[in-house]
Amino acid sequence: MSEIQKRKDEHLDIVLTAEAARNQMPSAFADVRFEHNALPEIDLADIDLSASFLGRRLAAPLLVSSMTGGPAKAEALNRHIAEACGQLGLAFGVGSQRIALEGQGAAGFGRDLRAAAPDAVILANFGAAQLKAWPGAEMAERAIDMIDADGLIIHLNPLQEAVQAGGDTDWSGLLSRIDAICRACPRPVIVKEVGAGISANLARRLVDAGVTAIDVAGLGGTNWAIVEAARAPTADQRAIGEAFADWGIPTADSIAAVRTACPDALVIGSGGIRDGVDCAKAIRLGADITGLAGSVLESAVASPEAMVARLAVIIAQLRIACFCTSSRTLADLRQAPLLSALPSWQAPPLPSERSSP
């Protein structure tokens, strides 16, 4: 097993432990409260949760995103998620394909994923840091072709790399390389943080560079500074990671700010989405769809059936949130009254003010 493979297995094991969960910071969704409608005047069964994503229709606005491990674990994990998303009509973003792209084995990334979910939206994925050494356009095409993906995620993780022993810390010139990939890539490009959020300013620059979608992945989900601290080889290295336990932009704030800065872009709200009520809040703040990872990881590891059951609960919770705000559709949910007004900078444009993704 290579060092990268070993590290990915350690990441998966740590995220599944109580230690990682205890160190998660607030996503700021607790500060967002819907005004309850005691007489919704709609039928729960008539609520339409479908969403447009990359020109396709999802049965619900959910993307199961970017979980990974070493090759043996990744193969089963990806298969379970692909089967569940294919059955439920949801989107699926694979974890980092770096191992496979660098020729260290298939690592669970093959055309069998598409066979398991022929009609699902599937997204390829690799890290921006690798673009310092890789021919970006070529690797983008290979990553997409490897799993017959509908789009490509380029993930940003500067904090994780900086606190990780031996991490990739030369991030100079990467925006221009992302721009080049967007120009050459045959499929849409999504840029995603991994847990510290994306600012309004950066989101605008990414969209101007040709990025189709921004996945904010803000503070409140899996905390990679803490994960790296947990596997640090020395006490000093552990202390470096622990100092950044509360670093980042809370997910709720990041969603609203990115939507305001990029009114016509596709926004994915992820980072600490734990249930359907969080999904509803993310959509109200300006997300087009929501991303799930750590909160469904245990089910994803278990089996496709466990994954289907977990996602079905989240969808039911989202439907009830729509019901109790008298929202027949997600467009209605985006205008649902809140108990307290958002600060002006957090007020996302209404759906009528921006084009459909």
Phi, psi of 311 (to 5 degrees): -65, -35
Residue 341 pLDDT greater than 60, yes or no: no
| C-alpha dist (Å) from residue 167 to 41, 95, 130, 135 | 55, 18, 11, 20
* DSSP line for 56-105: EEESSSEEEE----SHHHHHHHHHHHHHHHHHHT-EEE----HHHHTTS-
Residue 30 or residue 9, greater confidence: 30
In the predicted structure, residue 162 carries a pLDDT above the cut 50: yes
Contact residues for 176 (Cβ-Cβ < 8 A; gap 6+) = none
Instruction: Assess whether pLDDT exceeds 70 at residue 292.
Output: yes
Identify the residue with better confidence: 97 or 176: 176
What local confidence, expressed as pLDDT, does residue 7 receive? 63
Mean pLDDT of 120-134: 95
- Give the mean model confidence (pLDDT) for residues 58-65: 96
Indicate whether 350 pLDDT > 60: no
Domain 3-353, what fold? TIM Barrel (3.20.20)
Give the list of residues 6+ apart from residue 18 with CB closer than 8 angstroms, or none.
Answer: none
Task: Reply yes or no on whether the pLDDT at 357 is more than 50.
Answer: no
